[in-house]
């Protein structure tokens, strides 16, 4: 009996995202090519991980006007709900064309491997970067 009650509590906690909040997130990620759920804004990130994601997008040449960002610190339901929505425990979170790309660690890895540039170029979010001098 106790295990069942504990499971119900756990399920209730995991389903804290309201239908209204889920629809707002769905609309945001499906109607915008690039969405970043972060702490702060691209102009004023409020945590190092959010700052790193913004810097990566800047280095990749993504124009600021192509980034739809949401400050999760302004809305407690969004702050917790986005974690449930993506089944990813941390913020920031990046979505491209409705698909969850990842958080800061994944963005760094994709940036370093060149995979992020390919994705951003393919989706029209950035232009291909010129090769570095030693690559010519």
Q: Are 75 and 68 in contact (CB under 8 A)?
A: no
- Considering the domain boundaries, does residue 36 fall inside one? yes
> pTM of the full predicted structure?
0.83
pLDDT score recorded for residue 2: 44
Burial group, residue 91, by CB count within 10 angstroms (0-12, 13-18, 19+): buried
The number of folded domains in the chain is 1
Which residues does residue 69 pair with via DSSP β-bridges, in sequence order? 36
DSSP 17: S
- For residue 7, being part of any structural domain is answered with no
Q: Tens-of-pLDDT digits for all 136 residues of the chain?
A: 445 554 445 445 555 788 888 999 999 999 999 999 999 999 999 999 999 999 999 999 999 999 999 999 999 989 999 999 999 999 999 999 999 999 999 999 999 999 999 999 999 999 887 776 665 5
**Domain housing 37:** 18-123
């Amino acid at each position: 009996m106790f295990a069942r009650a504990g499971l119900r509590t756990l399920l209730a906690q995991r389903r804290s995202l309201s239908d209204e909040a889920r629809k707002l997130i769905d609309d945001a990620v499906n109607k915008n090519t690039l969405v970043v759920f972060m702490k702060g804004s691209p102009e004023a990130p409020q945590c190092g991980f959010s700052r790193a994601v913004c810097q990566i997008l800047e280095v990749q040449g993504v124009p600021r006007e192509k980034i739809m960002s949401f400050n999760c610190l302004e809305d407690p339901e969004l702050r917790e709900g986005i974690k449930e929505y993506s089944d990813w425990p941390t913020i920031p979170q990046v979505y491209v064309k409705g698909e969850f790309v990842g958080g800061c660690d994944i963005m760094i890895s994709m940036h370093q491997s060149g995979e992020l540039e390919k994705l951003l170029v393919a989706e029209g979010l950035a232009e291909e970067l010129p090769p570095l001098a030693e690559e010519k």
